[in-house]
Amino acid sequence: MTEKTPSDRPDFNKLVELMATLRGEGGCAWDREQTLRSLPKYLIEEAYELVDAVADDDTDSIEEEVGDLFFLLLFFAQIGREEGRFDVFGAIERTYHKMVRRHPHVFGDASARNANEVLAHWHGIKAHEYTDENGKPPSAIGNIPRHLPALFKAQKIQRNVSRVGFDWGKAEEVLAKAEEELGELREAIRSGDKHALAEELGDLLFSIANFARFLNVESEEALEQTNKKFIRRFQEMEAKLTASGRPLTDYTLEEMDAEWERAKLSESPPHGSKQR
């Protein structure tokens, strides 16, 4: 990272002005065409690019992606300002006061000895904030974003209902439920009912995600690790088999399987375990 003096750095207001210029008369045609509904896909893409940079522990990329994500948020705020709905300064003010309110152990008289107590404060305050005019608290799962990735969303649903006591007692019970769902999936396969098959497969995935939660494993991260492992092994197999110039489709499944097993054996055993 190149060191700069404060006078060399564009300040926040300049970035806000830059965004307004891009959206204004004589600005960028593409920027001017965007709406609040067209931007979310770019926001998701930028967020995942930041996640990748963090996973790679690439400092330059992290800094760049934080900036890109920040700029895209300003894009939302600029459109909100143009439509007379909100602006970036109002958004910042709301977040500032919300964070102060939700950290009474820092800015108030409450105490929290550990992260679990901090979360208890947070969820209690959040529930109070969303209580309606009749004093009715919100649904335990009413504020979960609809567009979360399904596996991540499943565990969030399960965590939320657990906080109100709707949960299994131990991991073995959850595993038994997953095994029950697997049996129901087998029955659906035998029946040939595609609707039932999809439903039972969904139930099985939900149960597996719940079992992962009991093991304190993030199911989304666990599946992504398997994705990466599969990609790594497949590309190693692919490179070995196609090095002679023959396309992969010329090889039999047995030949590919043999090279796949060699790719597995070439990897170092994780955490000092014996390679099987």
pLDDT (tens digit, 9 = 90+) per residue, 174-195?
999 999 999 999 999 999 999 9
Whether 33 shows a pLDDT value over 80: the answer reads yes
- Burial of 241-272, coded b for 16+ CB within 10 Å and e otherwise, reads beeeeeeeeebeeeeeeebbeebeeeeeeeee
pLDDT of residue 275: 42
Tens digit of each residue's pLDDT (9 = 90 or more) over 66-88: 999 999 999 999 999 999 999 99
Region 217-229 average pLDDT: 93
Q: What is the pLDDT of residue 128?
A: 80
Tell which wins on pLDDT, 217 or 1. Answer: 217
> In this predicted structure, which of 4-13, 77-86, 140-149 has the lowest mean pLDDT?
4-13
7 has a pLDDT exceeding 70: no
Single-letter amino acid, residue 246: R
Q: Is the dihedral of CA 180, 182, 183, 187 positive or negative?
A: positive
- Can you read off the two tokens belonging to residue 140? 């335990």
Mention every residue, 6+ apart, whose C-beta is less than 8 A from residue 94: none
CA dist., res. 48 & res. 132, Å (int): 35
Q: Which residues contact 128 (CB under 8 A, 6 or more apart)?
A: 137
Distance CA 137, CA 203 (A): 29
Out of 51-60, 81-90, 262-271, least confident range: 262-271
List the alpha helices (DSSP H) in 37-149. 40-55, 59-82, 88-101, 104-107, 115-129
Query: Residue 143 has what pLDDT?
Result: 82
Query: Which pLDDT band, with edges at 50, 70 and 90, does 274 fall under?
Result: very low
Distance of CA 87 to the CA centre of its chain: 26
Section 2-13 average pLDDT: 69
Q: Which of these, 39, 64, 65, 70, lies nearest to 51 by C-alpha position? A: 65
**What pLDDT, on the 0 to 100 scale, is given for residue 276?**
40
% of the chain at pLDDT higher than 90 = 75
| Of residues 269 and 201, more confidently modeled | 201
Which pLDDT band, with edges at 50, 70 and 90, does 116 fall under? confident
Please classify residue 179 by burial: count the beta carbons closer than 10 Å to its beta carbon, then call 0-12 exposed, 13-18 middle and 19+ buried: exposed
Instruction: Report the alpha-carbon distance of residue 222 to residue 230 in Å, rounded.
Output: 13
This prediction has a pTM of: 0.71
138 DSSP assignment: P
